[in-house]
A and B are shown apart, each in its own frame.
Chain A
C-alpha cells in the first residue's frame, strides 16, 4: 500500500525551530518529486515547498523568505522540512504529498498531516 506518514509536529515558541519528517512506503520514493503543503486552522491549502526525486532541485513559497529548507534521504525513503525562525502565522497542519509523476505536479498521495503550533 502506498503510504506517507508525517511526524515531528508539536508546540514551539516563536523564533524556535522544528523538523518535520515524512516516511514513504509502497512506491519507489526516489522516482517521485515530493511536496509540503500546509493548512492553517479553518483556512485553505497553501503550497510550501517541493523537491525533485533526486533532490537536485528545490522550490519554495516566497512567503517563507529562506526560513524553511526541504530535503530528502532516498536511502531512508524520507522527506524532511526544516523550519526555523517560526512565527505564529506558521501555525498549521503540514501535509507531505507525492507528485503523480511525469510533468504533472498534481499530488496523488497525501499523508495524514502533522500539526505545528507556534505560540508562547
Chain B
C-alpha cells in the first residue's frame, strides 16, 4: 500500500497570503495525484487531478505541481472561503490512498 504523508498538519495563514501544502508518497505515483478541499459538514471537492490540472470551476489561485513522490498544492492568495482541510490522494496503484490532511486556518 502506498502511504501518503501530508505536511504540515496545520497551516496558519493570513488572508491574502500564499499557502504551500506538501504531499509525499512512499513510492512513485507518477502524476496520478489529486487534491481535495473539505469544509466542515460538507463533502470533499475536487481541486486538482493528474497532479496539476484544475478541476472544472476551480479558481486559478489553486495550482498543483510535482511528480513521482513529491507534490505541492499552492494557494496563491488565500480567500476567506479557502480555510478548510485539504487532502491529497494517489490513484496510481490499488488500494487508492489518501493523505491525512492539512488544515488551513486563519492566522
Contact = CB atoms under 8 A, between A and B. Distances in A.
Contacts, number: 61
Interface stretch (B13-21, B67-75, B96-104): B96-104
A108 interface: yes
Given A105-B32, A106-B34, A113-B43, A44 B89 contact: no
Nearest to B42: A112
A100 B49 contact: yes
Q: Is the interface of A mostly helix, strand, loop or mixed?
A: strand
A80 interface: no
A120 interface: no
A interface bracket (residues with beta carbon within 8 Å of B): 20 to 34
A47 interface: yes
Contacts of B34: 104, 106-107
Nearest to A47: B96
Given A44-B87, A95-B43, A100-B49, A108 B94 contact: no
A50 interface: yes
Given A35-B96, A104-B49, 10 more contacts: A45-B101, A46-B98, A50-B96, A107-B34, A107-B36, A107-B46, A107-B89, A108-B55, A108-B56, A110-B45
Interface of B: 1, 32, 34, 36, 38, 43-46, 49-50, 55-56, 87, 89, 91, 94-101
24 contacts: A44-B99, A44-B100, A45-B36, A45-B89, A45-B101, A46-B98, A47-B89, A47-B97, A50-B96, A59-B95, A95-B43, A95-B44, A100-B55, A104-B49, A104-B50, A104-B91, A105-B96, A106-B34, A106-B89, A107-B36, A107-B46, A110-B45, A112-B43, A113-B43
